[in-house]
Structures are given as structure tokens and as C-alpha cells.
Structure 1
Amino acid sequence: MSDREEQLVGEFPLIPKQERAQIKRDLLLKSGHELFVSRGFEHTTAKEIAAHAGVATGTFYRYFSDKRQLLMSLLEDQIEMLMPPEPKWGVSDPESTLASLLESHDERLKEIGLQRLLPELLAKDTEFAEVLAAGKRKIFTRILSGLKRAYDNDLTWNDLDLNTVTWSVMILAEHAHEKMKHCGNQTDYREVAKVMCRIIFPPEVMKQLRTNGTVTKEE
């Protein structure tokens, strides 16, 4: 493997305007996606991506400076999909709503497949690691903001630190799909949602949410 392939460098490429060029670029993106998922980033080369797409290696470098640039193009529109789902509080039957969000997130991860590359990328590519970390910080801020509103409406435990609660919720949301790997049995997202809701809501609030749909603070 050449030094060019070894280094994870490169900027986002310009998207070609000609239809024929766009078709070739799309073929390379599809080929790269398939090979990255099946072989991993490290064991895939630009030459192999080009061959799998049915084009010359020189054609690959017409559209991408290296395999990292191709991968970043794949991830550019999918970073949000790789992020843990953002829960919704103060809704009717929050357990079912949250379980549905977690299941949908798991299905998206399986469909994309690129999450398998994350440990390899995070270890090598500081720029990508920062992009991912920035995305998580945004979600953390949004979840914390939602929990603060729930707190103001007397929906949450009043003796728990909301930053710690937010962190706990994100950890569960982000890693729920890995339960099989650690525990040996399939993830039951309803059970995960139940744990998350127990962290957030006192029992009487859960009862009111199920009965009335919402709970608001009396003025």
C-alpha cells in the first residue's frame, strides 16, 4: 500500500456537472461503500475500488484524491444518521415513542453499514473524530435543553444532575444496538426505553403521561 493510500488526507471533491461524469462518480461511491463495509477501510485500495466499479484507476483519481476523500463523501450526508437518536420527552407513552426511535436508528445503521468503520477511522483520522464529536455535542445540547424544559414542568426527578442524566441517556441510545455483543441476547428496545424513562421520569409522571398524554406545571 502506497503512502498516498496510508494517509487519511484530502478535501471534499467537487461534484461533476456532466451526467456521464456523475454516473462514474456514483459508481465509484457505490463500489467504495461495498468494499469498505465488507473489507474495512485499511484493507481497501483505490485501485480495488476502481476495478470493482469497472473503471480505470486513473478514473478514480479524476474524481477523488484518495480513498479517504471518497469515504468522507459517503459520510457527508450520513453523519446525522450515525448519531444516537434524540429522545422526545413529555409525549404520550414515552416508552413506546423512544423504543420506536431506537429501533429506527438500529435499522438505519444496518442499512448504511458504515458504522463498522468508525473504530478504525476514529483511531486514525483526527479530523473525522472531531466531526463526529461535534455532532454528538450538538445532540447532547439538544437533549439537555429538552430535559431542562421537562424539569421546569416538574416532569423529571428533581434530585438528579441533568448533565449526568443526558450523558446516561446518550450512552444508552448510542450503544443499545450492541447489546447482543456484550450480553449474548438480542436488544429489546422496549426494555432499553423503559430504563431510559426510569432515569428521567418519576413513577407518578409516567402514569400521568400514559393517562393524559402530557403533564404541565400548574401556574
Structure 2
Amino acid sequence: MSDREDQLVGEFPLIPKQERAQLKRDLLLKSGHELFILKGYEHTTAKEIAAHAGVATGTFYRYFSDKRQLLMSLLEDRIEMFMPPEPKWGVSDPETTLAGLLESHDKRLKEMGLQRLLPELVAKDAEFAQVLASGKRKIFTRILSGIKLANDKGLTWTDLDLNTVTWSLMTLAEHTPEKMKQCGIQTDYHEVAKVICRLIFPPEVIIKLRTCGTADEEENDI
């Protein structure tokens, strides 16, 4: 059992070993996933999850202590999927590379669907909010480390605070999926990546990275 499971999931009433029992548990997970997205966490009950799965309410409590445990089981090992993607700076075209990462991240979030529950969960579940914040701090530290390496190589702006740059980068990347809703136009991932890269690199450095090609990528491996 992972540390995260210890924190968020807790001990299950029953760990299914037989295939039939595992199928029932999987049905409950699928049912909970669908209802949480459709109705929201607060307005979904264990009884509704069981009914939607086609099983008795008592069956629900054979596998999960409550709806929170079911939700945290859905989120288990997926916390990092909610984190903004970690850019790769030591490449010949950082803008295109980052645009691809942003688009893939947005696609994963849409496929999972549960990102809509995050504001509700963070507001109501202090333990989950703490784990999510811890995950963001780890991503922040890794991104900052990469930017510092780029700075050591003379690739970044010299007059900007790197902590502020990292925070700005993460904020933009994290809210990229919301751009279409707020602006009313389709998200152009390359335009977002361009803005982020301009926070890191002066224009002449971006041109240099593009023209140097893969020959310098090993040297700039950050």
C-alpha cells in the first residue's frame, strides 16, 4: 500500500480476491466516476452509486467505507495527472515541445473528467487539498531546478526572479484548459507555449535553440 493510499484511501472493508467480487467493485468505481462527473461529489450518495451500478446499497459498503473512499480510489496514483506538465528546455524547439505537452495534458484531463471536482474537493477535504498542494510543490521544485540550469547556461533572462518565473509558468500551464471557456475561442497550445517560453528565454535564445538543432541538445540537456 502506497503512502498516498494510507493518507487518502485508508483500509478497505473488503479487498476482493475472486473475479466476480472484483467485477462488482469495478462496477461501483465506474458508477461513482460517472455520477461524480454528472452530479458533483456533494450531490452524489452511496445509495445512488450502488443503484446506478445495479447492486444493493449493502454491496457498496462491502467494498468501500463511504463515497469518499471510492472517490479517492479513483484518484489514487492519478494525482500527478492534475499537475501542470513539466517543460523540457534542452530541446531544439522548446515552444513546439511544450505545446505538445500542454495539449496531451489537456486531453488526459478531459478523458478522466474528474478535474471538475477539484475545486469542490479542495474546499471540503483538507487532507486531499494538502496532498494536491504537496504535489504542486514537487512539480514547482522540479521546474525551478530546470530553469536554474538554463540560467546557469546563460539561456534565460538575467533580470527576472526565477521563483516568480516558475510560478507564472505553472499558473499559465495549469489554467490552459480553461482558456477556451474564458476567452470564447479555441485554445491554441502553441500560442500558450510561446508566451511561456518568452518568460524563460529572450527571443534570440529561442532562435539560437532552433538553429542549433540536435547538436546542442545534449549540451543543453535540462
TM-score (norm 2): 0.90
Matches within 5 A, 1:131-142: 131-142=131-142
CA deviations over 1:37-85 (Å, ceiling 9, x no partner) = 1110011100010011111100000000000000000001211111111
**Partners of 1:206 and 1:80 in 2: CA distance:** 29
Deviation at 1:124, TM superposition (A): 0.3
Contact 1:10 1:66 in 2 (8 A): no
Q: Equivalent residue of 1:86, what SS?
A: coil
Matches within 5 A, 1:1-219: 11-13=10-12, 15-213=15-213, 214=216
**Partners of 1:88 and 1:12 in 2: CA distance:** 39
Deviation at 1:16, TM superposition (A): 2.1
**Partners of 2:206 and 2:212 in 1: CA distance:** 10
May I ask how many residue pairs the two structures share in their alignment? 209
Percentage of matched positions with identical amino acids: 79
Contact 1:96 1:193 in 2 (8 A): yes
Q: What is the identity, as a one-letter code, of the residue corresponding to 1:100? A: G
Deviation at 1:24, TM superposition (A): 0.9
Contact 1:98 1:193 in 2 (8 A): yes
- In the TM superposition, structure 1's runs of 4+ consecutive aligned residues that sit over 4 Å from their partners are none
For structure 2, list consecutive stretches of 5 or more residues without a partner in the other structure.
1-7
Tell me the C-alpha RMSD between the 2 structures.
Answer: 1.5
TM-score (norm 1): 0.91
Contact 1:10 1:65 in 2 (8 A): no
Q: What is the identity, as a one-letter code, of the residue corresponding to 1:28? A: L
**Partners of 1:151 and 1:183 in 2: CA distance:** 33
**Partners of 1:36 and 1:11 in 2: CA distance:** 20
For structure 1, list consecutive stretches of 5 or more residues without a partner in the other structure.
1-8
**Partners of 1:12 and 1:203 in 2: CA distance:** 53
Contact 1:12 1:73 in 2 (8 A): no
Which deviates further from its counterpart, 203-212 or 190-199?
203-212
**Partners of 1:81 and 1:101 in 2: CA distance:** 12
**Partners of 1:181 and 1:162 in 2: CA distance:** 30
